[in-house]
Structure 1
Amino acid sequence: MRYALISDVHGNYPALCAVLEDANSANINKYIFIGDYYMCFPYSNQVIEKIRNYPNSYAVRGNEEDRIEMLSKKDKSTWTDGQFQALYWYYNEITSENRKYLKELPRSAVIDEHLHAAHWSSEFIGNVEMEKFSTSRLQQRFGDRTPTKEDIITVILEILDSDATFNKRLSELDDGVYIFGHSHIQWHKQYGNKFFINPGSCGFPIDFSGGAPYTILEIENGVVSVDERRIMYDEDKCVNDLLNSSLYMHEKVWNDIIIKEFKAHSEVLMHFLMFVEDYANKINDKIRPYTKQTWAEAYSAWQQL
């Protein structure tokens, strides 16, 4: 049995199509989608409908799908802040049928025997991934040097081998394959008969490399093999489509940051959010989410750095 593992599309329909085209030529039997299907590019409905109707597929929800459920319970008249205007645009843009689909997705799934999928690695191994080898942590570790894939894997394995929480959770897990996303970093590791796979972010990788990563998992007669792939496609077209979209006209600050991060293939947004928090505190603005004025002024100040 061959599975295509696809995570964190983030509205990048061209990337998703490139990955599916490659997977279709690789004799895939089943497709597993691992959350975060919109937010970043203005093709949300195309992505959601493609996944919703894709044959022989399974899907779980991610944090972006949680946001849809959260917003569905909010009063739209309160959506006046600056910080989340892009999110509000996405909510209104996504069709009611697609919103319903996202809200009904499970948080985790067991697919066939001993094959577990969830968006967050914390469902299986605790918080070690996001706390110790997220992209921002890797940036701190490597400084101005852009790490290679080998550098990243070496760091990940060093951390996992020495992390007490991970090793405790590892000892408690049943044998099987554990699939997750969220960090936007492609990696995998085998410990005995336990396999951990993050296929990376198909639509928005921030593991210092471009393209559209996904992973092929093959299980044949109890033998597990993992094939990490990264498909090239027209990334510039995605950026241009975003710049020419009503999404960009609605909220430029968020999308400018997204474009910077997408082109850098590394963390930018978190650093900006930390700057905005510091900026707001300095001007004694305690309103959260940030007002439109503070959001825009902080971005102007950040650009001067």
Structure 2
Amino acid sequence: MGRRIAFISDIHGNIKALEAVLQDLDEKGISSENIYCLGDLVGYGPRPNETIEFIKKYNIQSILGNYDEAVGFYLPTCGCNIESENDRMRSKNSLEWTAQHTTDENKEFLRNLEEQISLEIEGYTVLLTHASPYSINDYVYESDTEKQEEIAEELDEDIVIFGHTHYPYYKKIENKIFINAGSVGRPKDGDNRACYCILELGEDISVEFIRIPYDIEKVAKEIEGSALLDVFAEVLRTGRDIK
């Protein structure tokens, strides 16, 4: 049996989902030194401070997501894929609310997160990045073979692990491995349960995507009771991006 490492991503202020995932990891015997967060701790969800404090309390090594960057550095947009006026309105609501409800201390924590981390585990090199090796707000979907081939050609590491799209997948391109860890707090792949992945490295490589139920309705109602847009609650309920 090799070393097991867990990767969580895109929590988006959903403390209930994060607590459920960490409880599952504890039951699996995976401790915090073997857990990495791939960014986007905040945004869209009702508990940005509690989420950050939880990550700090358990000393989970995290990298910077585009939403963390926007809130931490007081940027005017989240760097999201805004395609319409409706998207722009939702982005503005979420970013302004999250910035207003995140403490200065926690914004400083976000500002100090590294953009990428390179690890060596059991003889493999692993790059952790939020979206892609190129950019903090790039999109690399499972079907983006041409983009993956470009990345694979330039990638020094054996494995690249990321989030951002909220769609989990494992894909091998040439001799490189691409893993999207999915989203803990805001899945969009049609499964509304919290998602994370476990990578086991040894003689062989194995990747397991884990889905964890949590009290979605409680979080959804908290969103609806705040100045955040109700559509963010529906994304949690459906596990899909609502246009």
TM interval, short-chain normalised: 0.7 to 0.9
- Shift of residue 128 of structure 1? 6.3
Residue 212 of structure 1: which of 173, 187, 194 is its match? 194
What's the secondary structure of 1:116's corresponding residue?
A: strand
User: Which of 89, 101, 109 in structure 2 is aligned with 1:101?
Assistant: 109
Superposition map of 1:132-281 within 5 A: 133=141, 156=142, 159-160=144-145, 163=146, 165-191=147-173, 193-220=175-202, 222-244=203-225, 248=226, 250-251=227-228, 255-268=229-242, 271=243
- The match for 1:302 is none
Q: Judging changes above 3 Å, is the alpha-carbon distance between structure 1 residues 20 and 267 closer, same or farther for their aligned structure 2 residues?
A: same
Structure 1 residue matching 2:214: 3-state secondary structure: coil
Deviation at 1:226, TM superposition (A): 0.7
Of the structure 1 ranges 209-218 and 191-200, higher mean CA displacement relative to structure 2 is found in 191-200
Deviation at 1:256, TM superposition (A): 1.5
1:141-198 per-position Cα deviation (integer Å, ceiling 9, x unaligned):
xxxxxxxxxxxxxxx35x52xx2x4323323323522110000001112346422111
Which amino acid in the other structure matches residue 202 of structure 1?
V
Q: 2:198 is aligned with what amino acid?
A: I
Which string of whole-angstrom CA distances, capped at 9 and with x for unpartnered residues, describes residues 251-295 of structure 1? 5xxx22212222232222xx3xxxxxxxxxxxxxxxxxxxxxxxx
Residues 1:193 and 1:115: Cα distance change in structure 2 (over 3 Å) = same
The whole-number CA distance in structure 2 between the counterparts of 1:128 and 1:99 is 25
Per-residue deviation, residues 17-59 of structure 1 (Å, max 9, x unmatched): 111111112222511101111112211111101112324x321
Structure 2 unaligned segments of length 5 or more: list them: 77-87
Q: TM-score, normalised by structure 1?
A: 0.67
Task: Give the alignment partner of residue 42 of structure 1, picking from 36, 46, 51.
Answer: 46
Structure 1 or 2: more strand by fraction: 2
Q: How many angstroms does 1:239 deviate by?
A: 0.9
- 1:67 — aligned with what? 70
SS in structure 1 opposite 2:134? Answer: helix
Moved more, 26-35 or 190-199: 190-199
Inter-partner Cα distance in structure 2 for 1:122 and 1:64: 17
CA distance in 1, matches of 2:57, 2:119: 18
In structure 2, how many angstroms separate the alpha carbons of the residues matched to 1:197 and 1:166? 11
2:6 alignment partner AA: A
- Quick check: which has more Rg, 1 or 2? 1
**Matched residue of 2:120: which SS?**
coil
Are 1:25 and 2:27 matched, yes or no?
Answer: yes
Alpha-carbon spacing, 1:193–1:27, altered in 2? closer, same or farther (3 Å): farther
Hey, what does 2:84 align to over in structure 1? none
Amino acid paired to 2:153 = S
CA contact (8 A) 1:175 1:193 kept: no
Tell me how far apart the structure 2 counterparts of residues 4 and 224 of structure 1 sit (CA, whole Å): 14
CA RMSD of aligned residues (A): 2.6
- Tell me the CA shift for residue 231 of structure 1: 0.5
Find the counterpart in structure 2 of residue 13 from structure 1. Answer: 15
TM normalised by structure 2 equals 0.82
Residues 82 and 22 of structure 1: is their aligned pair in 2 closer, same or farther, counting only changes over 3 Å? closer
8 Å Cα contact 2:163/2:180 also seen in 1: yes
Unaligned runs of 5+ in 1: 74-80, 134-155, 272-305
Structure-1 separation of matches of 2:93 and 2:171: 39
**When the two structures are aligned, how many residues end up with a matched partner?**
224
Task: Quote the offset at 1:85 in angstroms.
Answer: 4.0
Q: Does 1:54 align with 2:62?
A: no
* CA 203–82 in structure 1, closer or farther in 2 if over 3 Å, else same: closer
Contact 1:174–1:194 (Cα < 8 Å) also in 2:
no
Identify the residue that residue 88 of structure 1 maps to in structure 2.
96
Paired residues of 2:127 and 2:157 also in contact (CA < 8 A)? no
The whole-number CA distance in structure 2 between the counterparts of 1:4 and 1:72 is: 30
Instruction: Give the letter for the 1:100 counterpart.
Output: E
8 Å Cα contact 1:107/1:118 also seen in 2: yes
Residue 294 of structure 1 corresponds to none
Query: What SS is found at the alignment partner of 1:115?
Result: strand
